[in-house]
Chain A
Amino acid sequence: MKSLNYFRPTSSLRLWVVLAVTTSALAQPAFEEPFSREPVEALDVRRAEYMDRIQQMQDWRIGLYAEKNYTTMDNSALSMLLIRGEKIEECNQRVIELMQSPGTGPFWMFPIAMVAYAGRDNLSAEARQSIRDAWRTTRQLRGDTENHWVMYHTAMYLMAQLYPDEPGSEWWNGLSSDENRVEGRDWLLDWMNITTTIGQGEYNATHYIGEYAIPLLMLKVWSDDPAMRQRATIVLDWIFAELATVTLDGVLRGPNSRTDDYSVVERWYALSTYFSWQLFGNVPAGEGFRGWGWGSYFAVLAEHYQVPNVIYRIATDRQDDILQHDRARSRRIWRYSDEHMRPIYKTQYLRENYAVGSHQGGLSDPIQSHVWDVTWNVDDPRGVHNTMFSLHPHSSGRVQQMFFCTFPEPMPPGVTFEGKPSYNSANKLLGCSPYEQVMQDLDTIIALYDIDPAEDFPQVNGFFSKDLAEVEEHASGWIFARGGTTYLAYRPLAAYTWEPHIRYPNGRDPTITEETGGRVLVSPHVKNGTILQAADGDEFANMAAFQAAILALPLEYSLDPRPTIRFTSLRGRDLEMTYGGTPIVDGEPINYAGWKLFEGPHMNSELNSRVLTITHGQLGRVLDYNTLSITDIVMP
């Protein structure tokens, strides 16, 4: 059994300090006590521990306000208390106050829908009327990204169900209850259909997973339509099966459709980790549940959902390496592309102590994408930057225009004040780029770059964590390092310098930065590339042996006219890649077009089938979105 000691924060992060002060008097066993990653065999014990984690999250959230007063409660605490039937008068007052200045958009809508349902039987008539009035008078925005639309349409669907048979004059958008319910339902069905057919748009999102899971859980619990409840359950299983498969001891790594400046280096620091903690119990919590804000909304209803045993065991019981080839899709592209949505081809290779993941590169999401990395395991991932990767820091108004209805100039500077502070910075570590192409074979990555010299930032950035050990810039051109027990060999294909790694503690002000102690390899050459080879510590006697093995690997490359490389990996595979061409493994071009939706030891689905088979050992579950059936099976 691996167990952890108490975590002592050493970071100077502002947020950390604030939360630490805020929560100092609150009990938080998930943070304070050692935890185990061992699977819990007894189902009743597992359920009890699951319920205990719900209780912890709820107690902590409610406790924040119990220490002060309930006049500042957020909507998740309100919902928790309403479902518990506690502090009802305080809830009434708070609801009425909140409804005096309603918000505008899906991040306001779904929490209020949750409050409305949680309090439909015990809020006062005045408080309930205040909610009703807000949905009549306050215009709402549907937003401009897929997670926004899931939240928006879920909220409209449920609120129309809560207030049926009312005319358009009673709704902010002039549509009747029935029109709103049908509108929400039809959008949700379309999204679920696409997701189960060709994959998620915001796949493997470190934070936005919550913006999908919470509305789906609301639909599962509160929809009057049994078909909608079943659909929501299927998609919840679908999403969490993938989370279980691609996390490394609960930490989501590998390619992410969307992440942020913090999560991309401190892989544990993500809302996805909350879901691992809640569903699998295999990861520690941070003090004050930092980084897990939206998780409290899932906790409101989490008692109504628990992952099936097969998904639980995929997350917690790893006997063998996982090699998973999956498809997803890019964000919808409005213009300047022949493709409506690009297919995304993900490769995930997970071993006991590290994992390597990637997609093929190019454009996926215009602002917060992460294309590839190697992430290693550590006993306690909190505060650890346990990852390595490279990228081209692309910033482009033209690319923003592809994905948003905007003129070319405003967005690159504008988004830096909208929670994406690094977007327009040369030193950023968030992708993606149209000038990056990636191939992966097991634990080898080749990333090639052929960057337009007119780009704002014609360089390649490589992330080198503060937590690396035995870092050596070898005369051969390889850079060797050790992350945890994992040996790492990083080969930049062009000259470079080092810069301090900085982060942006204020998400809405890119001028405020702080150094982390890590470094960024900056290679200011437009014809460029990176090779990454990882290996487990058990494979070599020491770093010197690992280095000798790497240096013995055949490697040929050239950068002009286009970057091209031939490399024999540590696993004996002959890898060939030319920028603009199809990668070749052992003489065979990778046949991306033939990839299934999911293919691997635990998740399998034919493209367009809308059927996902989840397996672990003899455990199996078949999610059939065509028949809306969930079938548990026994594997031979």
Chain B
Amino acid sequence: MRSFSSRNLISLRRPLLAGLVGLTLASSLLAATAYDFFICANINRNYVIGSTIVTTNGLFQRDAATEEWHHFGYNDTTISAVAVDPRDHDVIYTTTLNGIWVSYDGGDSWKMTNSWDMTEGRDVAVDPHAPDTVYFALPDGIAVSTDRGQTWERRENGLPDRGKFTQTLAVDRTTEGRVFAGCEKGVFLTENAGHSWRQVLPTETQVNDVEQSPHNDQHWLAVTDTHGAWHSTDGGETWMQIEALPDQEAIYNVTFDPTDAARLAIASWAYGVWTSEDGGKTWLERNAGLPDNARAWRVGVDPNTGRLYASIFQETLFYSDDFGRTWEPDALEGSLVNAFLSLPRAQR
């Protein structure tokens, strides 16, 4: 078993103020709260740069009543991630090939606020304890805004000169300024809003996703290209490899089920969808009912229902109401879902 421990840190833990599901909610609140459920998706089968857009890409919201997806905001075939200001859901941050786009009016208008040398945005995250502070993942590092995305500065002290391709960012909902970055050479942690970073999990290949449990703020998961899946039960200080998951091929993302602390799922091009229902101790392949050789791009869970979604590469989005035992096709044929996002309606 591979494991890695970082040095212990003294940190200030603050109580939960507000937050995003998957980032911010304690399980005790879940039953009483309803959520708006979003995805950012590219419906771009066979699209190449230069084509006229004939499909719809960007942000979609799930209509719980009709079970339909409604597009809003802009149409950009390269959208990769989304984050929302927990104080004001009309403040939306999205990353795309061009960089980062910010809307302050719920998606009616947008501004590209990155400079020409901060492009190919990979991920974006808002600090729920300091919502003016926004983190922006780049293929060559990390930028931080302290003015709600209007201006950006690179904060990369402690990241390797080479090896700081940052695919994912995750803010610790317990502590202001405590952020994990999934990079080419491992998981890096800042506890001072990006002013310095330290490696808490070295990896040989790209870290693709880092997630914090909505049920236990000390429980974290990380998945990589070919360095396996990892978990931490001490707030990300030490990491242990999840032996029950394969590590020869890339795992693209991991998700917790906000409605059930025992349930986890991963998506992988090579392995498809795997789930655990015992908190990650054992895992089962859950591809029956998905297309043959299911190339799973991303999984996510609707916190309203516990419904598991699986985005299969340029196929229809699929869902499962029994956590992967059976699958049904949803809408959005030819899509790639790059992010799932849930927002407590009470925050609006």
Contacts and interface: CB of A to CB of B under 8 A. Distances in A.
B50 A105 contact: yes
Given A141-B77, A409-B295, A419 B52 contact: no
Contacts, number: 103
A407 B49 CA distance: 18
B162 A338 contact: yes
B259 interface: no
Contacts of A94: none
Interface in A204-235: none
Interface in A177-199: 183, 186-187, 190
A573 interface: no
Interface residues of A, number: 42
Interface of A is mostly: loop
Contact of A419 (B48, B53, B184): B48
A375 B288 CA distance: 54
Contact of B75 (A139, A174, A187, A338): A139
Contact of A153 (B48, B116, B163, B165): B116
Interface stretch (A80-88, A329-337, A355-363, A534-542): A329-337
Contacts of B46: 417, 508
Contacts of B110: 173-174
B49 A104 contact: yes
Contacts of B162: 335, 337-340
Given A144-B97, A334-B140, A337-B162, A410 B313 contact: yes
Given A103-B52, A142-B98, A409-B250, A186 B116 contact: yes
Given A142-B98, A417-B46, A418-B48, A335 B313 contact: no
B116 A183 contact: yes
Interface in A102-155: 102-108, 139-144, 148, 153
Interface string B109-137: 11111011101101000000000000000
Contact of A142 (B97, B111, B184): B97
A190 B117 CA distance: 10
Contacts of B172: none
B60 interface: no
Interface of B is mostly: loop
Contacts of B220: none
B206 A108 contact: no
B270 interface: yes
Contacts of B97: 141-144, 405
A104 B44 CA distance: 13
Contacts of B115: 183
A164 to B, nearest CB: 19
A336 B226 CA distance: 13
A157 to B, nearest CB: 11
B225 interface: yes
Contact of A103 (B50, B119, B163, B252): B50
B51 A408 contact: no
B273 to A, nearest CB: 15
B208 interface: yes
A600 interface: no
Contacts of A140: 98
B163 A106 contact: no
Contact of A408 (B120, B139, B225): B225
A452 B49 CA distance: 33
B269 A405 contact: no
A183 B112 CA distance: 11
Nearest to A397: B250
Interface residues of B, number: 43
A141 B98 contact: yes
A164 B199 CA distance: 47
B49 A405 contact: no
A106 B49 contact: yes
A152 to B, nearest CB: 9
B85 interface: no
A18 B284 CA distance: 54
A400 to B, nearest CB: 12
A405 B139 contact: yes
B336 to A, nearest CB: 9
B276 to A, nearest CB: 22
Contacts of B53: 104
B74 interface: yes
B302 to A, nearest CB: 24
A107 B52 CA distance: 11
A106 B295 contact: no
A173 to B, nearest CB: 4
B78 interface: yes
Contacts of A410: 269, 295, 313
A191 to B, nearest CB: 10
A175 B116 CA distance: 12
A144 B120 contact: yes
Contacts of A419: 48
A339 B122 CA distance: 21
Given A139-B76, A142-B97, A174 B49 contact: no
A169 interface: yes
B50 A173 contact: no
Among B50, B77, B139, B249, find the residue whose CB has the most chain A CB atoms closer than 10 A: B50
B49 A102 contact: no
B224 to A, nearest CB: 11
B52 A102 contact: yes
Interface in B259-274: 269-270
A335 B52 contact: no
A537 to B, nearest CB: 44
Interface string B46-78: 101111110000000000000000000011111
Nearest to B99: A142
B252 A407 contact: yes
A259 B117 CA distance: 27
A101 interface: yes
B269 A173 contact: no
Given A105-B49, A174-B112, A336-B184, A141 B313 contact: no
Contact of A101 (B52, B75, B184, B249): B52
B141 to A, nearest CB: 11
B49 A334 contact: no
Contacts of B98: 140-142, 173
Interface in B176-227: 184, 205-206, 208, 225
Interface in B277-326: 295, 313
20 contacts: A101-B52, A104-B53, A105-B49, A105-B50, A107-B49, A141-B49, A141-B78, A141-B97, A141-B98, A173-B98, A173-B112, A175-B111, A335-B184, A336-B205, A401-B225, A405-B122, A405-B139, A409-B269, A410-B313, A418-B48
Given A141-B49, A174-B101, A335-B139, 11 more contacts: A101-B52, A104-B52, A105-B50, A107-B50, A143-B97, A144-B97, A174-B113, A335-B165, A340-B162, A408-B250, A410-B313
Give the 3 A-B CB pairs with smallest separation, nearest first.
A174-B111, A107-B50, A335-B165
